[in-house]
Amino acid sequence: MGADKKGEQMEIVTVPSYEDMSLRAAEVVCEAMRQNPDLVLILPTGATPVGMYRELVAAHERGQADFSRVRTFNLDEYRGLAPDHPASYAAYMREHLFAKVNLAGQNTHIPHGVGPDPEVECRRYEAAIVEAGHGDLAILGIGQNGHVGFNEPSYSLRSTVHVARLRDETRQVAFDIWSESGDNPFPALADFPNHALTMGMGTILKAERILLLASGASKARALRLAVTGALTPQLPASFLQLHRDVTLLVDSEAARFL
């Protein structure tokens, strides 16, 4: 994917369904690992990549995905949630990938959500990514409001790993997903984290290649603005237009305004 359109515009691959998106995304990751066994992956969480992780685990079980030398860096983590909190992204990654493939523990990286000084943690995490040579392949999702990682719509963007204040709509969407699961660890929306540690857009844009996944009609507006709109911190995903190797892998519902 991507080779023929490098540097011109984002490549858009539209597939019929969420399942197709998940399978194609996993194929991209598997192929990248075959090409480079020492791949550095930047990884997302949320509802969108669950199917991709499922397909990666299946590929691993078939002997088609070897993570033994791969290093991973997650995009973000909620401030205040320890790795054993069920809503932490550390828990999410263990459940969906880390416990199910041959990734070495020391090769997986997620910002620490708890600790005395989040600013120190942000600097440590940024330095670790720089030390790894930045990402070879960043897999991203997009929020309904156009956020990437937890780079929320704002009057300005931060380049490197930082503490971000979560917008109300972002907290509400995540809280509702937990409520729908029937297992919400937060008694009320007020208990949901207000902040997160996140890679900045600069951290993300330094990745060699970017694959953005989106599924469903709720993402269609943000995707259109990201692809054809002005570069604006009010829609952080629009800054992906600056990157020379971005592929959007989207299902037909998400692609309806493209």
Selected range binding ligand PGA among 46-54, 92-100, 122-130, 156-164, rule: CB under 6 A:
46-54
Q: Look up 11 and say whether it is catalytic.
A: no
Q: Which of 142, 166, 223, 227 touches ligand PGA by CB under 6 A? A: 142
What six digits make up the tokens of 105? 């523990």
CB 143 within 8 A of CB 177: no
Q: Write down the catalytic residue from 145, 169, 195, 208.
A: 145
Between residues 64 and 232, which has the closer beta carbon with respect to ligand PGA? Answer: 232
CB 211 within 8 A of CB 138: yes
The CB-of-36 to ligand PGA minimum distance in angstroms stands at 26
Residue 141 contacts ligand PGA per CB under 6 A: yes
Q: At 119, which helix (H) or strand (E)?
A: helix 118-131
The CB-of-153 to ligand PGA minimum distance in angstroms stands at 12
Q: Look up 27 and say whether it is catalytic.
A: no
Residue 43 contacts ligand PGA per CB under 6 A: no
Residue 238 contacts ligand PGA per CB under 6 A: no
With a CB cutoff of 8 Å and minimum separation 6, the contacts of 63 are none
With a CB cutoff of 8 Å and minimum separation 6, the contacts of 20 are 251
CB 60 within 8 A of CB 156: no
Between residues 107 and 243, which has the closer beta carbon with respect to ligand PGA? Answer: 243
CB 194 within 8 A of CB 152: no
Residue 51 contacts ligand PGA per CB under 6 A: no
Positive or negative, the Cα torsion across 3, 26, 221, 174?
A: negative
Where do contacts with ligand PGA occur on this chain (CB under 6 A)?
Answer: 46-48, 141-143, 147
Active site residues: 76, 145, 147, 152
